[in-house]
Amino acid sequence: MRAVAGCLAVAAAVHAAPAALFVPAVRTALAPGLSGRGDPGHVALTFDDGPHPRATPAVLDVLDRYRVRATFFVLGRELARFPALGQEITGRGHEVAVHGWDHRCLLRRGPAGVYDDLVRTVEVIRRTTGARPRRVRAPYGVFSAASLPAARRLGLAPVLWTCWGFDWTRTATPASVTARVQRGLAGGGTILLHDSDVAGAPGCWRSALGALPALLEHCRERGLSVGPLNEHRDDRCTFPAPSAHPWLPSAPCPQTSDVIGPWS
């Protein structure tokens, strides 16, 4: 029984090991590309958890005013509910990427469940927008040992962020979001905001929306261009070799065909 318990403990530790990459210092040391670092004169602007019937159009309008494009990491379930919003995102020139189907933590799923989750989201994005996504961000920023190989199989480059606004909380305000992002912002970084409240406090998206003009002005004042991840960095997975860290995929990510397997 002790041997079985020991094996189970080891398996659980291996499964959860990539979750450590959520910690900025850990991913800087082991997988710097995962933070979304790119051109030092550019900042990538990203939004999670949408599309949302009120938040997403409002965010798109602000981005239009500033002539800025961004990357939207969408939930497959929400895109299936609001397909016209997905079409509007791409129609206005923005990038759509994968954030999972329903914001369930990937640590709670095995390899088959994780793959099904990602492939369902990839397929609904492709059907809805006509564009095949090329990037994935795990819900809560927590990848698992099963999710990284699944992403590689689907040709999805995992990306997290370098700074965020804590805009999903009940106490967030435009001022607090602006201040928190600015503290962590540097050229070549990736900003995380949210255009939805499906995984946060009700109405929390208003704090990100209110902060957005100030953040864009701040980037302009610093001489930093702002845009989506597809203008920020290449599509290679900059991870260590599997021999060093078996739970990380090797680089680079292969280009895959448009044939995606069935899901449950």
- Catalytically active residues, by annotation: 48, 194
CA angle 8, 10, 11 (to 5 degrees): 65
Give the N- to C-terminal CA distance of the chain in Å, as an integer.
34
Alpha helices in 154-238 (DSSP H): 174-184, 205-221
Q: Quick one: how many helices (H) and strands (E) in the chain?
A: 9, 8
What distance in Å separates the CA atoms of residue 45 and residue 100, rounded to the nearest whole number?
19
Burial of 29 (0-12, 13-18, 19+ CB in 10 A): exposed
What distance in Å separates the CA atoms of residue 254 and residue 102, rounded to the nearest whole number?
26
Cβ atoms within 10 Å, residue 183 = 8
Angle between the 83-91 and 55-65 helix axes, to the nearest 10 degrees? Answer: 10
Structure tokens at 125: 């994005």
Do 60 and 88 touch, CB atoms closer than 8 A? yes
